[in-house]
Amino acid sequence: MTRYRSFVALGDSFTEGLNDPAVDGDAVGPAGAGRFRGWADRVAERLATLDPEFRYANLAVRGKLIDQIVAHQVPAAVEMRPDLVSFCAGGNDLLRPGSDPDRMAKKLAGAVRQLRATGAEVLLFTGVDPRDTPIMRRARGTFAIFYMHVRSIADLYGCRLVDQWSMQGLRDWRAWSDDRLHMNEEGHRIVAAKVCEVLGVPTEDDWRVTWPPREDVDPRVKRREDVQWVRTHLGPWVVRRLRGRSSGDDLDPKRPDLKPFTG
């Protein structure tokens, strides 16, 4: 069984844990956003049960682009020199017009080289196949190119890889929150179980999910839901992009220091 005494998580909203609310609900950051748990905290919790000296930091912040993560989070992780670093980024870049998956891959490869040079185990991720997501479906080819690069980088530098593209349980909307962009509690639980398997860490959870059949939805109800989604989630997201703003502006990482995990 693999043991890790320290873990630093890097990335954006996926690794920060949106939308998997923590039990305590403490507010973090000047924007007053609720504290989130997420797959990384769930994995850290499991690792902490296996080693009383385990330490954890989560530097991920929602909305961050790969250049921002490489510029700010990677150097911090290099300085901390943990046993394990997770790096998942690129989704926010790929949602923007004109994104270049080849350039993004070069950025990622450079960051992975830095992290591996410290002796850390590095955990990389592909994303979920976006063919069922209206806002991402048209860019599916671009997503696929980038995630093929991620697989190649993992092979080249000896990284662990969590292949979410093949995880059919994540293609069901019951694993996602109302905004259709972030996983809910069940989605993060599934990912955490997969991460533990990839790392060789024992867990009672299973990422292989068979969802019960759903009742057919009246097309009129579905249209109303889509309209509400555009007003509540897609519209504000587009406005932020046009203004050059991010949901993570002015937010600090929820766990900026490598410390014992306390939940």
Domain assignment present for 204? yes
Domain assignment present for 231? yes
Domain assignment present for 184? yes
Percent of the chain at pLDDT exceeding 90? 67
Number of domains in the chain: 1
| Residue-level pLDDT at 189 | 97
Domain assignment present for 42? yes
The pLDDT tens digits for 213-229 are 877 666 776 667 666 66
Residues in the chain with pLDDT values less than 50: 25-33
Domain assignment present for 98? yes
| Residue-level pLDDT at 104 | 98
The pLDDT tens digits for 72-99 are 999 999 999 999 999 999 999 998 888 9
| Residue-level pLDDT at 32 | 36
Domain assignment present for 185? yes
Q: Specify the CATH number for the domain of residue 169.
A: 3.40.50.1110
DSSP sequence for the chain: ----SEEEEEESHHHHTTT-B-SS--EETTTTEEPB-HHHHHHHHHHHHH-TT-EEEE---TT--HHHIIIIIHHHHHHH--SEEEEE--HHHHTSTT--HHHHHHHHHHHHHHHHHTT-EEEEEE---GGG-TTTGGGHHHHHHHHHHHHHHHHHHT-EEEEGGG-GGGGSGGGB-TTSSSB-HHHHHHHHHHHHHHHT---S--S---PPPPPPPPHHHHHHHHHHHIIIIIHHHHHHHHTT--TTTTPPPSEEEEEE---
Give the range of the structural domain holding residue 101, as residue numbers without chain letter.
6-260
| Residue-level pLDDT at 244 | 66
| Residue-level pLDDT at 22 | 86
Residue 121 has a CB neighbour count (10 Å cut-off) of 18
| Residue-level pLDDT at 28 | 41
| Residue-level pLDDT at 44 | 97
Domain assignment present for 103? yes
Domain assignment present for 1? no
Burial of residue 203 (number of CB atoms within 10 Å: 0-12, 13-18, 19+): middle
